[in-house]
Structure 1
C-alpha cells in the first residue's frame, strides 16, 4: 500500500527530530550508563505543617498508559523550580509495581496512592457505585476530596507549563478565595450544562432543585459570578476546563462535601459535565462559597497538520492554552500552560495510526502561534461557528521560550519511551 506523501513528510520530520534529540542526549549524558539506577535531583524537604505532614502539593492522576506524560511532567515541574510533594493517584492497581518503583526512583518527594482502595476502605461507595467508575476523569475529584494536602494544585498529565503553577497562589484571585479555575470553550450546544430538562437548561435546573438543606444551606442563591456567566445567560455548554485546578481546602467551606455528593450521586442522575470538568466550580457555587475564575477565555495554538496559519490565520484549532490569571488588562499577557497531548504523543488519545483522527488532534510538531488573550465575558458568541476552533479571535506569536520548554518536555517523554533514564536529569538546554 502506498503511503500518502503527507505521512511520509511527517515521518521524515519525526525522524529528524529524534536524531536531534539523540544528539542532545549524547552531549549531556554520553558518559552515563543507562542501566545504572540513578536518583536525579536531591531537593529540599517540602513545606510541612507542625504535625510533619506536607500542607501544599500537587496531585497528578496516572495510569499505566500515561506514564511517559506523567514522568515528563514531574521532571518539567522540578526543572521549573517546584519543590512540593507530588501525589500520584491511581485507581485499583492502574500502575504496575515497576511503574511505581520508577516514579519513586526519579524523585524524592513523590507519594503514590491507590485512591479507590482508600475510598473503599472508608466505605465511601454508595450501593451500585463501583470503584471502577472512578478510573478516568472522575479519579481527580475523588483524589482532591481524600488527599491529606490542604493547598492543592490538581493537574492533567498532558499539561505543558511555562511557569511553576504553584506560583499562582500568590496572585489576587487565589489570595481572595483560595481557588483558581480556568474557562473552557465558549460553544453553544444543546448538551451538558445547556441540555434541556423539562424545557429548562440543566444548569438552571440543578441550581433551582439542589437539596441545599441537606448541607445546612438555604437556596437557591445564585452568585453574581454565575448570573454574569455565559453558561447561565446564553446557555453555553461548558464553563470550566479542569486541566488545572487550584483549591485551598481549608477555605472551601462546604464545597468539598458537596463535591463528594456530586461525584457519588448527582453525576449518575444528571450528566452535567464532560468528565469531571464542571464539578469543581459547581461544588463552590452550590456551597455558596466564593471562587475565582481567570478572566481570560480559552486560547488555542495553531495546528500544523490542520494548516491553520495558511488557511485561516485568525482562527486557530490546535491544543488548548491558558494565560496567567492576572485580573487587570494592564498586567502582562503571559502564557501559563498548554493542555497538549497532541504536542507529545505521536498518536494522541491512544488512537492507532490507522484510526480516523481530526487533523487538529494529530501530532503537532512545531506550533508557533496562539489565540491572543481575551476576556471571556466580552466574547462575541455570534462569531463562534465551530467546536474545534476559536473562530475569528486572531493569532499572535508564542513566546520564544515555549519551543525550548516543549523540546525539553519531549526529551523527557522520549527518555522514558526509549528507556534511557539518565536523560531525565537534563533541565538546561
Structure 2
C-alpha cells in the first residue's frame, strides 16, 4: 500500500512539474516570439471570404452579438432596425456555438437579410486564436472580434440592448464620419481611480495614470509609427485626470476599408496590452485608443451621454438608469437609449429560462410598469458631472426633462416585440424532443 502511495505521489509531482514547465515554456515563447507577431488584417479578411465562399466584402453592414438567451432582445432589435427604414445586411455573431441552430433558424425566419458567423470558430480555423483562448471572447470582447472579422466596408457595431430611435446608418452622412471614417459616442463622466485613471504598476512618476502609461510605454516601433498625442486626447477628461471612462461601446461606426491599418493595432490591444495595463472596463476603450495610438483621425459625437430615469422619488436632477445618446448632429433629439432592463424578457440570463406563457406575460407586465419618465437634456461633456459621488450610475445636477412620449412608445413597442418573440422561442423549446412539459 505504501508503495502505491509513493508511486501516486511521484506521478502527481512529475505531472505538476510538467505542467509548470509547459507554462514557463509558453510564457517564454509568447514574450519572445508570439507577442511580436502582428495580425495580417488583409490575410484575415481574405481568409474569412475564403471560408464562407464570398467574392467580395459587403459595402454596408450592421453587426450584433447574439446568444440563445438574447434571441428575443436581438431579433426585436432587427425588427426595430427595419421599421426605421434600414435595409443593410445584419451580421449576427456568436462564439463557439452560443447560438444554436434552432435560434439561427428563428432569426432567419424573422429576417432574410442576415448572415450568422461563429467568429471564434473562424478565428481558430484561421490560426489567430487557439480553442483555449476563445473562452475569453464569450463576453463583450466578442464585439471587437466581430469588428475585426466582418467582411464589411462600412460597419456599425450595435449592442442588442439599445433601443433605436433613428436609422443607425444616418451616422455615415455626418461630417465627422465623412472626415475620419469613424464615429464614437461618450460614456458617462466618472471620476474614479481605476481603468483609464488607475495607477496600476506604472513606472512613471507623479500623477501618471494607466492612460498615461499606455501612451508612454506602447511599442510604436512594432507598427512603424512615431508616438504623438492628438489634440483631442490632450483635451479629453481622461487625459486630464477627470474621468476614468471615455467611450460608450454600445454603438461603434467604422469605415473598415479606409481605416484598415488600425486593425492590427486593435488586435494587439485586445490580445496583449489589455492584460498588461488595466486601462479599460472590458472592451469599451480599445477602439478609440487603437485610432489614437496609430495616429489615425477619429471622431466623437459632440454631445455627452445622457441618462434615463424612472419617477422613483429621487430629486429630478438626479437621474439613475439607462444610458442614452443624442443624434451626433445639430438636431436636438435622442438617437438611442440603452434599455435592456425595460425590454429583455430574460434579463441578463446566460441561458434562456424555460417559461410557461403566463410567466412570460407576467414579466411583460412588470416591465411595462417600470418605464422611464425623465431624461437629461442635451449637453456637452464636463468634469463637474464626473465629480458627483453617484456618477458611476447616475447623472446629477445636469438638468431633467420629461422623456418624450415617442421615446416611451418606442420602448413599449420594442418590449412587445421582444416578448412576442420570447413566446415563439419558448414554444419551440417546449416542442423539442425529450423536453418534458412543466406543470
- Band the TM-score falls in, shorter-chain normalisation: 0.7 to 0.9
Residue by residue over 1:30-55, the C-alpha shift from the partner in whole angstroms, topping out at 9 and shown as x without a partner, is xxxxxxxxxxxxxxxxxxxx966421
The yes-or-no answer on 1:115 pairing with 2:119 is yes
In structure 1, the residue corresponding to 2:190 is in which secondary structure?
A: coil
Number of the residue aligned with 1:184? 187
User: Among 261, 266, 270, which residue is 1:254 paired with?
Assistant: 261
> Do the aligned residues in 1 keep the contact of 2:242 with 2:386 (CA within 8 Å)?
no
Mapped contact 1:384–1:390 kept (Cα < 8 A): no
Kept in 1: contact 2:242–2:383 (CA 8 A): no
Structure 2 Cα separation of the partners of residues 348 and 145 of structure 1:
28
Equivalent position of 1:311 in the other structure: 314
Counterpart Cα distance in 1 of 2:378 and 2:138: 34
**Aligned pair 1:389/2:394, yes or no?**
yes
Give the structure 2 partner of residue 298 of structure 1. Answer: 305
Q: Distance in 2 between matches of 1:107 and 1:279?
A: 31
1:228 is aligned to 235
Measure the CA separation in 2 of the matches of 1:52 and 1:143.
17
Assess, with a 3 A threshold, how the Cα gap between structure 1 residues 378 and 272 changes in structure 2: closer, same or farther.
Answer: closer
**Counterpart secondary structure, 2:328:** coil
User: Once the 2 structures are TM-superposed, how far is the Cα of residue 345 of structure 1 from its aligned partner?
Assistant: 3.1
**CA, structure 1 residues 381+273, in 2 after alignment: closer, same or farther (shift >3 Å)?**
closer
**Deviation larger for 203-212 or 50-59:** 50-59
- Matched residue, 2:404: 399
88, 92, 104: which one pairs with 1:100?
Answer: 104
Q: Which residue of 1 aligns with 2:22?
A: none
Query: What TM-score comes out, normalization by structure 1 length?
Result: 0.78
The 3-state SS of whatever aligns with 1:231 is: coil
Distance 1:85 1:347, change over 3 A: closer
Runs of 5+ unmatched residues, structure 1: 1-49, 353-361, 422-429
**Superposition deviation, residue 385 in structure 1:** 4.4
Residue 74 (structure 1) aligned with residue 78 (structure 2) = yes
Q: What is the DSSP-based 3-state SS (H/G/I as helix, E as strand, rest coil) of the residue aligned with 1:301?
A: strand
Aligned equivalent of 1:342: 341
1:208 maps to 2:195:
no
CA distance in 2, matches of 1:98, 1:415: 17
Matches within 5 A, 1:25-44: none
Structure 2 alignment gaps of length 5 or more: 1-53, 354-365, 427-439
TM-superposed deviation, 1:101 = 0.7
Q: Report the Cα distance in structure 2 between the residues aligned to 1:176 and 1:112, rounded to whole angstroms.
A: 31
1:240 aligned partner: 247
- For residues 61 and 115 of structure 2, the distance between their equivalents in structure 1, rounded to whole angstroms, comes to 11
User: Are the counterparts in 1 of residues 95 and 142 from structure 2 also a CA contact under 8 Å?
Assistant: yes
Q: 1:57 offset after TM fit, Å?
A: 0.5
Matched, 1:173 2:181: no
Asked whether the equivalents of residues 160 and 339 of structure 1 are also in contact (C-alpha less than 8 Å), the reply is yes
Structure 1 match to 2:40: none
Quick check: 1:301–1:370 contact (8 Å CA) kept in 2?
yes
**Deviation (angstroms), 1:366:** 1.9
Aligned length: 353
For the 8 Å contact 2:158–2:252, the answer to whether it is kept is: yes
What is the deviation of 1:230? 0.1
- Distance (Å, rounded) in 2 between the aligned partners of 1:120 and 1:163: 37
Equivalent of 2:420, from 401, 404, 415?
415
Distance 1:122 1:51 in 2: 18
The structure whose Rg is larger is 2
Q: Is the 8 A contact 2:262 2:294 kept in 1?
A: yes
Q: Distance in 2 between matches of 1:58 and 1:374?
A: 28
Pick which of 280-289 and 194-203 moved more. Answer: 194-203
2: distance between equivalents of 1:241 and 1:311?
A: 25
Residue in structure 2 matched with residue 269 of structure 1 by the alignment: 276
Aligned residues of 2:198 and 2:278 also touching (Cα < 8 A): no
Mapped to 2, the partners of 1:187 and 1:378 lie a distance apart of 9
Counterpart of 1:280 in structure 2 is 287
Structure 1 distance, partners of 2:296, 2:150, is 20
Cα pair distance change 1:347/1:107, threshold 3 Å: closer
Q: Residue 151 of structure 1 corresponds to which residue in structure 2?
A: 154
CA drift of 1:283 comes to: 0.6
